[in-house]
Amino acid sequence: MGFWSSVSSFVSGVGSALSSVGHAICRGVSSLCTAIAGTALGGAIGGVVSKLVATIGVAFPPLEIINAIIIVASIVSKIAEALDVKEKDKDEPDELAMKAEKSDKKPEDFDSTEAYIKHLQEEIELSDEEKEKLKNMDDEKRSAYRATGTYLYTKCINEKLGFDTTGLKNPELIGITADILVDLAKLNKLLSPTDFVVYSKHLQAAGLSMNDFSNYLHNTANDISMDKKVQNAIVGAMTEINPNISETDIDQKLSELNIEV
């Protein structure tokens, strides 16, 4: 039960902005951790996961938080597939979290999140009964599993893209944060997860951060030249994805990449 010792403080830090549904999701995780002693690292990881749920809860109407978590989990899964961290239709975030619950090894036992995830994927099996249990869980509790697995994949994605070199010994999300995941959920129909991987590489090549990208999306940058730099990187990514893209289509796509603050 090593992983859940690392999320025993899941409910800490969740703000009052969460709906009753959001709090129920947190309670679902808490109930799994009741009999498991926490660690200093565990409290930190729990705080990051709780922030992920809280950020989603604040960004979407209360009654949509479960669907929003599903969307975010799906986006992260597809990015993980594009980076060969996850196989298609295997080890979905909620399944990965259940495997983590079942494992006797802790995240901090591994040098990287990818190594930990590979341990779960290759060495931990879910029985038919466990898969059925997961399938039939109430929405709030299953969302807790989804959020936790989504965190693990996101942490690994940040490592694979070069944003994070710290591993799970530092549980914070560096690069692609909870706020960026919410942005991607809101742009779900405009920016595919695989395209986002190309975007992120062009942004990094230009010396830009995910925060610079977020400021561009929200039109909150203080420096016009920085916005132009971000836009040039985005155009470069669009051209790589579609070498035949027209200037008109580029202008249209750029105009759509905007999130109201």
pLDDT tens, residue by residue, 24-56: 676 555 544 332 224 555 566 667 777 888 888
Closest by alpha carbon to 92, among 29, 129, 159, 146?
146
pLDDT tens, residue by residue, 223-238: 889 999 999 999 999 9
The pLDDT score that the predictor gives to residue 241 is 96
Please state the domain extents for the chain. 2-176, 187-256
With a CB cutoff of 8 Å and minimum separation 6, the contacts of 64 are none
| Interior/surface letters 130-166, b for 16+ CB within 10 angstroms, e for the rest | eeeebeebebbbbbbbbbbbbbbbbbbbbbbbebbee
pLDDT tens, residue by residue, 86-98: 999 999 999 998 8
Cα distance between residue 184 and residue 54, in whole Å: 16
Cα distance between residue 29 and residue 4, in whole Å: 9
**Measuring CA to CA, how many Å separate 170 from each of 37, 109, 166?**
19, 13, 6
Structure tokens at 40: 């200093």
Q: Could you tell me the pTM of the whole model?
A: 0.88
pLDDT tens, residue by residue, 135-184: 999 888 898 889 889 999 999 999 999 999 988 888 899 999 999 999 99
- CB distance 117 to 93 below 8 Å: no
C-alpha atoms less than 13 angstroms from C-alpha of 142 in its C-beta half-sphere: 16
